[in-house]
Structure 1
Amino acid sequence: MKRKREGFEKKGSEIRSVIEELSSVVRVKPGVHQETALIPSRPFLSICNLFLQVLDKIGPTMAVLRQDVHQNIQRLEKLYESDPSIYSNLVEVLKKEDSEGTARKPTSSARALVWLTRSMDFAVALLDKLVKEPDQTIEQAVESSYDIALKPWHGWISSAAYRVALKLIPDRKTFICLLMAGDEDYDKLKEDLQSLVSLLLPLLDDIHSILRSFRLDKLKSS
């Protein structure tokens, strides 16, 4: 399940690879029926790994968030690899831990899924702002995305650490250049980001609905 970490010149193709993977997902609307709900493990963990690469491009300023995302990915990847036939659908993880009464524990896979979903909310908000609000600085885009997706669930220590990190983020032009592959221009990157966001939004909406059905949507950092 672990994806090979590719170099800078492979970035654009990596984004398009994830777009192709997400495009092939057959969505099952969660509704109120947990038995038919679907969170596809491979595409979801692929986009999480791509987000890690984005954080690497931002630099050490995002080290705390990167470590959190990386640990949560590892937790779910390990479970997936233990039995891909069962855990190809991450809803099975939620069912298992819900029945065991362990879903809310700090080291649970369910909690890892909650925080990865919120991290993806942050990523989608940031990428959307990069495309639709070109006049914003990267600092403004990151801050507003953080306020929407992560701040409501962070304690004051996490929020304070983020505020310090925000001051070290590269400028918008540098960040955009870091996201582009060697063989693409800004228009192509913009097109890829728009496609990625349009595919991710409905998937994340589904995941949030499923988390609410397991009463996991209000968990805060411990």
Structure 2
Amino acid sequence: MAETVFTPSLEGMKHVKSENGVILTKPFLDVCKQILPVLDKFGAAMALVKTDIGGNITHGSGRSSKQDCKRFLKLHKWTSVAHKVAMKLAPNREKFMEVISGTGDIKADIEKFCTTFFPLLKENHDFLASVGLDDMKAS
């Protein structure tokens, strides 16, 4: 079966929501964990970002409180930062695609990942805003 670095995340996103449409914390964090190998593709330069994101995922999966919400917010922020850093580390589009490609259709998987994961992040962001934990503008 043809795979890319996004294949595990795409598979995991199928299980992130409950039957009634609520985002489930553990499956969501598991998907976030599956994104970490993407950062490995960029070598040591991304180690600090990967460590911080991984720490937020680990701590977020062990709590269910206001602290958990803050971890989601920090994870959401770092996902955005990691994307920006990853884009700067890649010298050009071709090299970026070469670094993250696998045996599957990387362009299709990137598109599928973005269109599926972004709404989950937005829903988390909207929830955090609704409970007064939205400090995205402060950073």
TM-score range, shorter chain: 0.7 to 0.9
Whether the aligned pair in 2 keeps the contact of 1:72 and 1:115 (CA below 8 Å) is yes
1:179 to 64, 75, 100: 100
Q: What is the match of residue 53 of structure 1?
A: 37
Q: What is the match of residue 200 of structure 1?
A: 117
1:40 to 2, 6, 24: 24
Alignment identity in percent? 23
Whether the aligned pair in 1 keeps the contact of 2:56 and 2:75 (CA below 8 Å) is yes
Structure with max Cα Rg? 1
Whether the aligned pair in 1 keeps the contact of 2:8 and 2:34 (CA below 8 Å) is no
For residue 199 of structure 1, report the CA deviation from its aligned partner. 0.7
Matches within 5 A, 1:63-74: 63-74=47-58
Unpaired segments ≥5 residues, structure 2: none
User: C-alpha offsets along residues 158-205 of structure 1, whole Å, 9 cap, x if unaligned?
Assistant: xxxxxxxx5xx2423333222112x23xxx110011111111121111
The TM-score, its normalising length taken from structure 2, stands at 0.76
Unpaired segments ≥5 residues, structure 1: 1-9, 30-37, 80-92, 98-107, 127-141, 146-165
Q: What CA distance in whole angstroms lies between the structure 1 residues aligned with 2:47 and 2:132?
A: 30
Q: Which of structure 1's runs of 4+ aligned residues deviate more than 4 A?
A: 26-29
2:74 to 105, 115, 118: 115
RMSD over aligned Cα atoms: 3.0
The TM-score, its normalising length taken from structure 1, stands at 0.51
For residue 64 of structure 1, report the CA deviation from its aligned partner. 2.6
Q: What CA distance in whole angstroms lies between the structure 2 residues aligned with 1:39 and 1:119?
A: 19
Whether the aligned pair in 2 keeps the contact of 1:18 and 1:47 (CA below 8 Å) is yes
1:60 is paired with a residue of what secondary structure? helix
